[in-house]
Amino acid sequence: MTKTVVILGGSYGGLHVAHYLLKQKYPDVKVILITKNSHLFWNFASVRAIVKEANIQDKDIFGSIPEALSRYPAESYELVIGAATSSDLKSKTVTVTPSDSKQTRTISYDYLVLATGSRTSDLGPNLMPWKANDGYEELTKLLHETQEKVQQAKHIIVAGAGATGVEVAGELGFEYANANGEKKKEIILLNADQEILRGDSISSAARSELKKVGVQIRDNSRVTDVKTTAGGKTEVVLANGEVLVTDLYLPTMGLIPNTEYLDKIYLDKNGFVVVNDLYEVQGAEGIWAIGDLVGKPRCGFMITQKQAAGVGANVDAVLRGKGQSVVKGMPFDILVCAVGRSRTAGRMGVVKMLSVMGWAAKGRTLGIERLGGYIDGRVA
């Protein structure tokens, strides 16, 4: 009898696992990949893609998922473009609303991999293109609109001084605030805390790099409200009551796991899926979770890659009647923040990286060249 493996989410983790399983060429396994976006979005480069002068094209950061799966026998997989709206992990079903229909569809499975990722908890009037919150057409439109707004604005506020905020401010500063000594735009980074990057060991290095590209950093500046004025500007209200007026407001604060379709008994108090060392969902045998919706040990691309590889191997082991293995993470934590197209701040574990090392590893291209591996299957 054919076994069905359903994978929810077609981004880095979900597509990785799909490639891995389909490469095994099982005679009696069907993989169903359910994703709300028909294209994989290389969102690491979104921080640079909003700068039109960086000349990042849609084809550089979007890869077709139908094309990625077309290399496998048609009978071995099914691709469903849509969003999971509910699930019953005890009866082994998920309910999906396809993007081209208002009619829901209930899909049964034998095994399930959860990889629906996260979204940004934006505070403001506009969506931001940091995550694939919408379908391909909506996302590319949003990205192009943001490019135009960035180009036209003379005063830009970036809210949130985590990794995304630091990189967004760095890209804007590199292009506009300190370009060949000419200040074209005023770039302000609002940091809710005393230190950027939540006080990580590279925070002082990142702060120094941001200042080199002309970014103004305001610490202890928590945003509590955002309003659009009649004149089209944005009022940013801070916790101390101060109101800042800007041409363009770019929020980057926080991540919300996309887990609304799951029963809360499988989630922690913050909405993240609880897993064991095999990355099986706690209390749900034969169901695994990876990536941002787990948030363990933190959200990160390389962390998701390791989890996807481990879970792919565990699903394969179960399909073959073998025992699973503990999913191994990174040997040490790596954090690199690109600050424009020429500088970075980073560390490997507790060892700080030279700026040029971080630039070569990440800042030079933001990993765009790796997108092809997710389309042709080399990633797995």
Same domain? For 159 and 195 the reply is yes
- 308-333 burial: b if 16+ Cβ within 10 Å, else e: bbbbbbbbbebbeeeebeebeeeeeb
Per-residue pLDDT band for 125 (boundaries 50, 70, 90) equals low
Cα separation, 358 vs 38, in Å, equals 31
Same domain? For 62 and 104 the reply is yes
Cα separation, 163 vs 43, in Å, equals 13
| Total Cβ atoms within 10 A of residue 183 | 12
Same domain? For 191 and 112 the reply is no
- Residue 373 is assigned to a structural domain of this protein: no
CATH code of 37's domain: 3.50.50.60
- Between 163-172 and 203-212, two packed helices, what is the crossing angle to 10 degrees? 20
Cα separation, 147 vs 285, in Å, equals 45
- Residue 349 is assigned to a structural domain of this protein: no
Cα separation, 134 vs 128, in Å, equals 11
Cα separation, 153 vs 246, in Å, equals 9
- Residue 244 is assigned to a structural domain of this protein: yes
Same domain? For 167 and 243 the reply is yes
pLDDT digits (tens, 9 = 90+) for 282-318: 999 999 999 999 988 888 899 999 999 999 999 999 9
Same domain? For 158 and 236 the reply is yes
Same domain? For 199 and 215 the reply is yes
Range of the domain at 178: 153-253
363, pLDDT greater than 80: yes
pLDDT digits (tens, 9 = 90+) for 53-96: 999 999 999 999 999 999 999 999 999 999 999 999 999 999 99
- Residue 353 is assigned to a structural domain of this protein: no
- Residue 366 is assigned to a structural domain of this protein: no
* pLDDT, mean of residues 323-345: 94
What's the confidence (pLDDT) of residue 51? 97
Cα separation, 349 vs 86, in Å, equals 39
Mean pLDDT over the full length of the chain: 94
Chain position carrying tokens 């503990």: 326
pLDDT digits (tens, 9 = 90+) for 165-193: 999 999 999 999 876 667 889 999 999 99
> Which of 253, 280, 311 is the last residue before a domain boundary?
253
Choose among 30, 31, 36: nearest CA to 10: 36
User: For the chain, what is the radius of gyration of the CA atoms?
Assistant: 21
**What is the phi-psi region of residue 168: left when phi exceeds 0, alpha when psi lies from -120 to 50, beta otherwise?**
alpha
Cα separation, 80 vs 63, in Å, equals 16
End-to-end CA distance of the chain: 26
Compute φ and ψ for 53, nearest 5 degrees: -65, -20
138, pLDDT greater than 70: yes
Same domain? For 244 and 263 the reply is no
Same domain? For 39 and 17 the reply is yes
Same domain? For 236 and 164 the reply is yes
Overall domain count for the chain: 2
Same domain? For 244 and 317 the reply is no
332: its two tokens: 């040490």
Same domain? For 204 and 295 the reply is no
- Residue 260 is assigned to a structural domain of this protein: yes
Q: What residues contact 187, with CB distance under 8 A and at least 6 apart?
A: 156, 158, 169, 172, 173, 176, 177, 214, 215, 216
Same domain? For 287 and 195 the reply is no
